[in-house]
A and B are shown apart, each in its own frame.
Chain A
Amino acid sequence: MTAAVAGGALRGRPRSSPLVARILRMEIRHSAFVWGLPLLAVLFLYDPFRTAVGYPDLWPLRATVVLNKFWPDCVPFAAGFSAWAGSREGRRRVRDLLATTARPAWTRQLCSFAGTLAWVLAAFLAGATAVYVKTATAATWGGPPVWPVVAGAVALAAVCALAFTLGALLPGRFTAPIVAVGIMVVVLEAFRVSVNQSGGPVGVLSPDGVVPSNDSGLFYPVAPDVSIVQVIFFAGAVLGAIGLLGLSPRTGGVGWRGALAAASAGGARLRTVATAVFAAGVALAVIGFGLAGTAKMSVIEGTQIPLLHDSAADRPIPYTPVCGGSASFRVCVHPAYRSYLGQTVKSFDLVMSELAGLPGAPVRAVEVADRTLPAMVFGQGGDGVVAGTPPVYAFTMDNALALIPDPTQFADSFEQDVAHAVIVGPIGRMVPVPGGGGEQFQPDLGNPAQQAVLNGLLKAIGSQPYPNGGPGQPQAQIAQQAQMAAAAARFAALPAATRHAWLVANLAALKAGHLTLPQIP
């Protein structure tokens, strides 16, 4: 680097861009980040890639791995190697020697910073590309979201800039690991705030956050509000750190004295530029922080920033459902779930063979957006409701499809929902909380006879018993558990045709609560 600068000086005043390009190329070639690449690759394969491959093959969901898993993986490396590069001149104690070169320290440092940043961004983009390419081979609808990658890249640039400046300010052999761990602690704390959803700007600005629901970005677009605010804030942090680097005398900068006087002596132009960059950075960071403070959080609709939110983005995304199943019972799902259609259709086969033709039994099943279902569906951990005339089972894949899909659980929840709707009725209702303070969900588990028939039927088709509501259920029913289990076992042991015939004859009385446990065959 020194030789290149000296060589340039000997040839008079070279054009700055080729000189900067040469220094930059040299910095990229000699960057210590290369040592971190194999470790980062191991980490990438171990965690983000493995996680992404395990997730349901939905673009919006798998793309969250880029920020929730891969971004924090990159942080210690980005911070450590940036601090390492930033502390280089101080660590080698060559700052005085380099002060004699023709170019200002800021130019030199920015080239070094850019060299490290180039590697960091290349590694981040390579990882994101690998996740996206893998997703593209499996996803059946949609395309790669760009905002997570943009926000992650800018946030990583901010991590690099901050770490580089800290390295330049406090050079030493311990600086790099301490800065890396320090920034990781901040990232972990921001993640904690984000996951707790306790509100406040820190949780919104944390790139690493909660995993959204499966339906996120499928029926309604994901608003880019949060990503925009993150980009504003982290771009401000980048500029602020770079400006600080140019101003601080500790890093070879022009100094703070006269920072506001553009015409002051001693690197006036440099001081003006550094001051402007620093001021712009602080302003952007403050604006980003302020905007993040106005965020409105919603589990279903995500986080919105009112000042940035485009209400047009709330319009549903048009799609053509894909359907399967028999003519008597059609099952339609969003095209993003095309690969799960066969499994979904199969999930209804057994339960519909038991319930078909009964009053209240659904004639088809349709997947809908999670936000269109009543909140009480999620309160009971269900997947949907049977409603309308003729009855239709409207369901969501949010709960049905776990992050690590489990085919058994997938079928169980549909079967429980449909059987409960036909034998007992609605899953519950919202009731006022005693003493005021809003409403709470009160599940309707049915009377003992209904529960016995429901669980007997579920047992007969190999499904799990309906969730009994745990300790919240009435004491009288807890005392009757053994009798209900015996009645359920009796009912399950009946031949399918006998069961169906009994239901045809007695379902109305059972739903009306006129039957008791001994009356169950």
Chain B
Amino acid sequence: MSPADSASATRTRYVAPSAAGSAWLAGAHLTWLHLRSRQVPGALAALAGCAVVLWTALTFHWWHGAGLAATELPMLIEGCAAAIIVVTAHNPFGEPERATGRWLPFLRLGTALALCGAAIGLLALGAAAAYRPQASVYLLSGVLGIAENVMGFAGVGLICSLVTGGLLAWTGPLAYMAICQFALVASYSEPLTWAARPATDRGGWIAATVVFAIGLAVFTVRGPRVRPSGE
């Protein structure tokens, strides 16, 4: 656990809500504190950085080959986005936070969903900004590919967080992404390497969605592992 993390999260001045909107205000306040404790603003900035890198990669042709090989670099960026999302799973308060009430699972669920949505939106924005089909500058996999990979990789990471804890959960998406990279290069097409398949592949979508749903469900219910070291 990081003392400074918890300190910064609780340092916000508490404002007593009015009687009328007290429930909403308290809810919003709780949500904001939860997001801050997970460093969500930092995560959003990092995701925006990923979108800028995607825009640059598309504009300046930072990849080798055509066809599926052209999705190598976008896949790396999508893996990075998923890794950033799952790192926000870390809870700086340790185990005591689990005794704070019934809203915690919903906050976890909402944060993960919102960040996935933000990542897909920002990356799609980056791809759209670079879109110049007459100069062959466009994202081959399209927004579908972004959504499939971000959700699937994030699902792997959320499952990983149950074992490694939130701060090390990035290892899952990166390792899985590396497997998909080599599946792509070597033209392997196992069902579970969905990122190496075309974005319109139904089997790939089913696999990615199932992994994301399972990851989200177990993460919502159990939360990330809290290690004795706080990390």
A: residues with CB less than 8 A from B are 32, 35-36, 39-40, 42-43, 46-47, 51, 69, 73, 76-77, 80, 84, 91-93, 172-174, 176-178, 180-181, 184-185, 188-189, 191-192, 195-196
Contact = CB atoms under 8 A, between A and B. Distances in A.
Contact of A35 (B3, B164, B179): B164
Given A191-B64, A192-B64, A178 B46 contact: yes
Contact of B80 (A77, A84, A91, A181): A181
A80 B76 contact: no
Interface of B: 2-4, 39, 42-43, 46, 49, 53, 57, 62-64, 72-73, 76-77, 79-80, 83-84, 87-88, 90, 164, 167-168, 170-175, 178-179, 182, 186
Given A35-B164, A176-B170, 9 more contacts: A39-B171, A39-B172, A42-B175, A43-B178, A51-B186, A76-B174, A93-B3, A173-B42, A173-B90
26 contacts: A35-B168, A35-B171, A36-B171, A39-B172, A40-B175, A42-B179, A43-B175, A47-B182, A76-B174, A76-B178, A77-B171, A77-B175, A80-B174, A172-B39, A173-B42, A174-B87, A177-B87, A178-B49, A178-B84, A181-B79, A185-B76, A188-B63, A192-B63, A192-B64, A195-B64, A196-B64
Contacts of B49: 178
A185 B78 CA distance: 12
A188 B182 contact: no
B3 A177 contact: no
Contacts of B167: 173
B64 A69 contact: no
Contacts of A92: 2
A35 B162 CA distance: 13
Nearest to A184: B76
Overall SS of chain B's interface: helix
A91 B171 CA distance: 18
Contacts of B173: 177
Contacts of A195: 64
B58 to A, nearest CB: 13
B77 A181 contact: yes
A93 B170 contact: no
B73 A185 contact: yes
A174 B46 contact: yes
Nearest to A33: B171
Central interface residue in A51, A73, A177, by most chain B CB within 10 Å: A177
